[in-house]
């Protein structure tokens, strides 16, 4: 069945460190993945996406890596800042393309 999961529920880093948030997915036919950030009291916010014909995509301070061989997705945040503290979700489109299937989320805590 379709499922998207995350390896660790929490991640604590120091300001300035690089953060890596991981996600494993089970549907080998998935062809589009998205990372969302959810700050306390707010809705999920789009960060970056990647299609299955790519291995890597970079944004501003963020990089998403896709390893289709082991069905693994990661989000790398460079020079992590306190404002990056949030819950991060990976998601994929459902097979029918009618829904986003979310993982459980990783809570990133950044200390100064």
Partner 1 sequence: EAQVTQNPRYLITVTGKKLTVTCSQNMNHEYMSWYRQDPGLGLRQIYYSMNVEVTDKGDVPEGYKVSRKEKRNFPLILESPSPNQTSLYFCASSPLIGRRGKAFFGQGTRLTVV
Segment interacting with partner 1 (CB under 8 A) among 12-20, 27-35, 60-68, 76-84: 27-35
104 sits near partner 1 (criterion: CB under 8 A): yes
Q: For residues 28 and 38, give the distance between their C-alpha atoms in angstroms, rounded to a whole number.
A: 26
Q: Which two tokens stand for residue 57?
A: 């995509």
Please tell me what DSSP assigns to residue 68.
T
Q: How far is CA 10 from CA 6, 57, 89, 103, 107, in A?
A: 10, 24, 12, 13, 5
Q: Which stretch binds partner 1 (CB under 8 A): 10-18, 21-29, 59-67, 97-105?
A: 97-105
Residues 37-76: x where in contact with partner 1 by CB under 8 A, - otherwise, as a string: ----xxxxxx--x---------------------------
């Amino acid at each position: 069945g379709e499922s998207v999961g995350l390896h660790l529920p929490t991640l604590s880093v120091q300001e300035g460190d690089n953060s890596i948030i991981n996600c494993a997915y089970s549907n080998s036919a998935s062809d589009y993945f998205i990372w969302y950030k959810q700050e306390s009291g707010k809705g999920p916010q789009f960060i970056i996406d990647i299609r299955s014909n790519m291995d890597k995509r970079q944004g501003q301070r963020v990089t998403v890596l896709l390893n289709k061989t082991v069905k693994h997705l990661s989000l790398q945040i460079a020079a992590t800042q306190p404002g990056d503290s949030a819950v991060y979700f990976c998601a994929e489109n459902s097979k029918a393309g009618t829904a986003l299937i979310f993982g459980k989320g990783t809570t990133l805590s950044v200390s100064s």
